[in-house]
Amino acid sequence: MQQKNLSIMHPRPSSIVAALYTLRDLNVEVAILHGPPGCSFKHARLLEEDGIRVVTTALDENGFVFGGHDRLVDMLQKVEERFSPKRIGVVGTCVSMIIGEELHEAVMEANLDAPVIEVEVHAGYNDNTKGVLFALESALDVGIIDRQEFERQQHLLSEATNVEKKYGAASKEYLEPSRGDVKYTVAKRVIEMLKAGKKGICILNAKKETAYMFADITVALQEVAKKLGVEDNIVNFANLDTGLGLPRVRQHAEHILADMHDNVKIDEIIGGLDEYPIAGQQVRQLIESNYRDFDFAVIAGVPHAIPMEALEGMELISITNGPRQVHPLKDMGHEHVLVEIDLHPKTLGVTNIVESEFGATLRQLAREE
């Protein structure tokens, strides 16, 4: 037996929402939330931008008391009639799980043609990755993914959880949100280093679709270096392996590489877009063997997953999308930490690189040179 970990005061990502995003990655067309009408509203709405419909059984006070089995059966049938989806997901919520609803019974009773991924989940897990895991387990059961992919994902999830506990939003009892450093000042510093002939590594280590915006920083840095005639001083690392991960995730990597095409050369591929928790090891080895003498690193996405030993002696410019990630990064020793506010919503439903604020600032400053 082992004692459970510290209790964290700030709100954190929900396992229900994590399950919904996973269903999207599994190309589910309609996800049914079995619970109260307002549950996970904001993300349900966002997900619609990404091509997955989210509907709710809208359990009310009566549903809490008398159960929602019939409503769920109804909803499954309605969904089939109205949308004829090829793949359906059913996701539990705190309410339905507390009162002991059996998703499986309703799914059996509705007896639809399309496969249904059942996710018995609520928002009460400390690690939101539980929602991902449950969704994947169920996808494995219905044969949508194979055991090998499941085990690979399982490993990545446990690494992601470790990273969050050590260096991320689950590392402290309370983390103050912050907007980070001023982008203008940091962009100036980057240009100053480039002009001084310093050598830099640009590391894109992003989580899935967030790469659509974080990749813009790679592109912007390349443009600016080219303009200043020092493009050879920059090497590009990116977790854009197109052969790893769920089909949808591979596709993001393909889109981004296609969009970069001739403008940017990725020197080192450090893993797939779902490998952000483990790509740090690859980065460490690469730097140790080839890039020891570099002066600075620009790291976008999940900078806290790159081990600090790898980056020793370099000036670090990190870009995250989590306001609560600023203080942990500063504590680790990242000199400049920037936040791309509201990045995620802008990366849903796109197939091209999306402009980032930091990228835009760099370009503007270079133009003024």
Binding residue (CB under 6 A) for ligand SF4 from 18, 29, 35, 190: 35
List interacting residues with other proteins (CB under 8 A): 1-4, 67, 97-102, 105
User: Is the four-CA dihedral 229, 233, 238, 240 of positive or negative sign?
Assistant: positive
Q: Does residue 58 bind ligand SF4 (CB under 6 A)?
A: no
| Residue 89 engages ligand SF4 in binding (rule: CB under 6 A) | no
Which CB sits closer to other proteins, 7 or 148? Answer: 7
Residue 2 CB contacts under 8 Å (≥ 6 apart), including other chains: none
In the complex, the smallest distance separating the C-beta of residue 98 from ligand SF4, rounded to whole angstroms, is: 9
123 binds, among other proteins, ligand SF4, none (CB under 5 to 8 A by kind): ligand SF4
Region from 22-30, 35-43, 212-220, 323-331 binding ligand SF4, contact rule CB under 6 A = 35-43
Please tell me the distance from the alpha carbon of residue 225 to that of residue 84, in angstroms, as a whole number: 51
Compute the distance between CA of residue 92 and CA of residue 17 in angstroms, rounded to an integer: 11
Minimum CB separation of residue 4 from other proteins in Å reads 4
Element (H, E) at 215: helix 211-227
Inter-CA distances, 328 with 159, 302, 307, 325, 337, Å: 18, 12, 13, 6, 10
Of the candidate spans 90-98, 160-168, 261-269, 334-342, the one that interacts with ligand SF4 by CB under 6 A turns out to be 90-98
Pick what 11 binds: ligand SF4, other proteins, none; C-beta below 5 to 8 Å, kind-dependent. none
CB of 285 to other proteins, least distance (A): 34
* Binds 2: which of other proteins, ligand SF4, none (CB < 5-8 Å by kind): other proteins
Close Cβ partners of 100 (under 8 Å, ≥ 6 residues apart): none
Give the position of tokens 């140790």. 288
Binder of ligand SF4 out of 26, 39, 91, 310 (CB under 6 A): 39
The CB-of-12 to other proteins minimum distance in angstroms stands at 18
Collapse the DSSP code of 119 into the 3-class scheme (helix H, G, I; strand E, B; otherwise coil) and give the result. strand
Tokens of 195: 């002009």
How far apart (Å, rounded) are the C-alpha atoms in residues 256 and 278?
21
Cα separation, 114 vs 84, in Å, equals 8
Q: Is residue 55 involved in binding ligand SF4 (CB under 6 A)?
A: no
* Residue numbers at the binding site for ligand SF4 (CB under 6 A): 14, 16, 35-36, 38-40, 93-95, 123
